[in-house]
Amino acid sequence: MRIVLLWFALARLHAQINIGIDSHIDTMQRVLIDRTDITQRSPVGHVDIPRMREGGVNAPFFALWVPTYYKGAEAIRRTLDLRDAAQRLFDTHPEQIALALNAADVERIARSRRIAAILTIEGGHQIDDDLGVLRMYYRLGIRSMTLTHFRHHNWADSSTDEPMHNGLTEFGKEVVREMNRLGMIVDISHVSDKTFYDVLSVTAKPVIASHSSCRELSDVPRNMTDDMIRALAKNGGVIGINFGEGFLNPKDAETLKANIAKIAEEPALTGKALDQYSEQQHRDEQMSKPATYATVDDAAAHVDHAVKIAGIDHVGIGSDFDGISAPPKGLEDISKMTALAAALRKKGYSDPDIRKIFGGNTLRVLREVTGK
Ligand SMILES: [Zn+2]
């Protein structure tokens, strides 16, 4: 009898585990540069473990983002530094956070009440045109790659740069096929529209837009058109709505466009001098607190629009927290995810729908791509 009761208790616990995914968080920059201990609640930044728990996010995609002014081997070195910073976090606090390599890992780690960290890289320049480097990233536990950042590189065009290749080159197509074969999620946030359609013509697996919103509501090139959102849904993929002010509210979009234009500067530095330059940029961005218009209701409107275009199974959340300067009012940090859920409930979304948007859909893609 006692065993039966125990079995029921375990089955209930199993059923109750909610997976909360945010498919794009930039917090590893703070862990590497500021030596932030994210197991402690912090008054700065948007993300730490106590605030993730409050907001119901237990499976963050941490981007190991390297600015595009890191060229060639420098970009690989910086990626490894970020990977090392993540490892130090896992090794110091195994009782709170662990690396997840697939959807089954996410569920197992979440069931033990820990944070399941999925590692991604943000920018194809980080592989230095070398599939061997891509494979080594996979072996280091990295399970997704955003194909470009703000600038085009040798094999793919970016949405915020002059087109150079008319989308994806032949080598770029090889990269997508190799990611499919390895079990790494192809992330099409940041790529040009043509690159996006080229990816869809090549990929055999669902892809994600880890942190993009709807161009119909805020006309910036980083957002997706309705046609792209429809095509993404047909591919089985997911769009993770970005909370950046310019992504959400057209009144903030002009500032975003101006900021994109500014990123042209590329220092002729290497090694520690380059790191110091990059770290100063990071600190300057943290200091800037622009006045903005975006609110939690804007975020809910983008989720709702994407659901209307793509259907309930193809929309997720990719906040870009710790990578955006001014989060929306009412959605100031990751603990406030509950406010977005409440705004969606007000629009008539049911709890099962909300669970799909806040994790279920992206977990499904992770399972399909990694195979478990
Ligand atoms: Zn980004």
Instruction: Give distance in angstroms: CA of 177 to centre of ligand 1.
Output: 23
Tell me the pLDDT band of 66, cut-offs 50, 70 and 90: very high
Residue-wise burial string across 217-235, b where 16 or more C-beta atoms lie within 10 A, e elsewhere: bbebbbbbeeebbebbbeb
Mean pLDDT of 15-40: 93
- Element (H or E) spanning 64, and its range? strand 59-65
pLDDT at 178 exceeding the cut of 80 = yes
**For position 290, what pLDDT does the model report?**
79
Instruction: Give distance in angstroms: CA of 230 to centre of ligand 1.
Output: 22
Q: CA torsion angle for 292, 55, 63, 216 (degrees, to 10)? A: -50
Instruction: Give distance in angstroms: CA of 24 to centre of ligand 1.
Output: 8
Residue 280's SS3 state is helix
Instruction: Give distance in angstroms: CA of 355 to centre of ligand 1.
Output: 24
Tell me the pLDDT band of 291, cut-offs 50, 70 and 90: confident
**For position 259, what pLDDT does the model report?**
75
How far, in Å, are 45, 81, 264 from residue 92 at the CA level?
A: 21, 16, 38
The token pair that represents 118 in the structure block: 């999925």
On whether the CB atoms of residues 145 and 125 are closer than 8 A, the answer is no
Number of Cβ atoms within 10 Å of the Cβ of 192 = 26
Instruction: Give distance in angstroms: CA of 41 to centre of ligand 1.
Output: 24
pLDDT at 168 exceeding the cut of 90 = yes
Instruction: Give distance in angstroms: CA of 187 to centre of ligand 1.
Output: 11
Share of the chain above pLDDT 90, in %: 88
Number of Cβ atoms within 10 Å of the Cβ of 298 = 27
Q: Measured on CA atoms in the order 202, 207, 212, 217, is the torsion positive or negative?
A: positive
Residue 212's SS3 state is coil
Instruction: Give distance in angstroms: CA of 109 to centre of ligand 1.
Output: 26
Mean pLDDT of 217-234: 97
pLDDT at 289 exceeding the cut of 90 = no
Q: Which of 4-8, 176-180, 225-229, 313-317 has the lowest average pLDDT?
A: 4-8
Instruction: Give distance in angstroms: CA of 212 to centre of ligand 1.
Output: 9
Instruction: Give distance in angstroms: CA of 319 to centre of ligand 1.
Output: 10
How far, in Å, are 29, 61, 100, 177 from residue 106 at the CA level?
A: 23, 11, 6, 25
Instruction: Give distance in angstroms: CA of 28 to centre of ligand 1.
Output: 13
Give the model confidence (pLDDT) of 87-125 as tens digits: 999 999 999 999 999 999 999 999 999 999 999 999 999
Please tell me the distance from the alpha carbon of residue 300 to that of residue 295, in angstroms, as a whole number: 9
- Element (H or E) spanning 98, and its range? strand 97-99
Q: CA torsion angle for 33, 38, 42, 46 (degrees, to 10)? A: 80
The token pair that represents 270 in the structure block: 């290497």
Please tell me the distance from the alpha carbon of residue 350 to that of residue 329, in angstroms, as a whole number: 24
**For position 11, what pLDDT does the model report?**
59
Q: Greater confidence, 71 or 288?
A: 71
Instruction: Give distance in angstroms: CA of 68 to centre of ligand 1.
Output: 11
Instruction: Give distance in angstroms: CA of 211 to centre of ligand 1.
Output: 7
Instruction: Give distance in angstroms: CA of 231 to centre of ligand 1.
Output: 21
Please tell me the distance from the alpha carbon of residue 61 to that of residue 39, in angstroms, as a whole number: 17
On whether the CB atoms of residues 107 and 19 are closer than 8 A, the answer is yes
The 3-state DSSP composition of the chain as helix, strand, coil percent (nearest 5) reads 50, 15, 35
Our measurement of the distance from residue 75's CA atom to the centroid of its chain's CA atoms, rounded to an integer in Å, reads 19
Instruction: Give distance in angstroms: CA of 272 to centre of ligand 1.
Output: 24
Q: Which of 104-113, 155-164, 205-214, 252-261 has the lowest average pLDDT?
A: 252-261
Tell me the pLDDT band of 224, cut-offs 50, 70 and 90: very high
pLDDT at 172 exceeding the cut of 90 = yes
Mean pLDDT (the chain, rounded): 94
Instruction: Give distance in angstroms: CA of 47 to centre of ligand 1.
Output: 16
In order, the DSSP letters of 289-316 are ------BHHHHHHHHHHHHHHH-GGGEE
pLDDT at 30 exceeding the cut of 60 = yes
**For position 285, what pLDDT does the model report?**
85
What are the helix (H) ranges across 17-143? 28-33, 49-55, 73-92, 103-111, 131-139
pTM confidence score:
0.94
- Exposed / middle / buried, residue 320 (Cβ in 10 Å: 0-12, 13-18, 19+): buried
Share of the chain above pLDDT 70, in %: 95
Instruction: Give distance in angstroms: CA of 159 to centre of ligand 1.
Output: 11
Tell me the pLDDT band of 155, cut-offs 50, 70 and 90: very high
Instruction: Give distance in angstroms: CA of 349 to centre of ligand 1.
Output: 28
On whether the CB atoms of residues 156 and 169 are closer than 8 A, the answer is yes
Instruction: Give distance in angstroms: CA of 286 to centre of ligand 1.
Output: 16
Closest to 272 in 3D by CA, of 81, 108, 113, 9: 81
On whether the CB atoms of residues 328 and 248 are closer than 8 A, the answer is yes
Tell me the pLDDT band of 153, cut-offs 50, 70 and 90: very high
Please tell me the distance from the alpha carbon of residue 104 to that of residue 24, in angstroms, as a whole number: 20
- Element (H or E) spanning 25, and its range? strand 21-25
Give the model confidence (pLDDT) of 80-95 as tens digits: 999 999 999 999 999 9
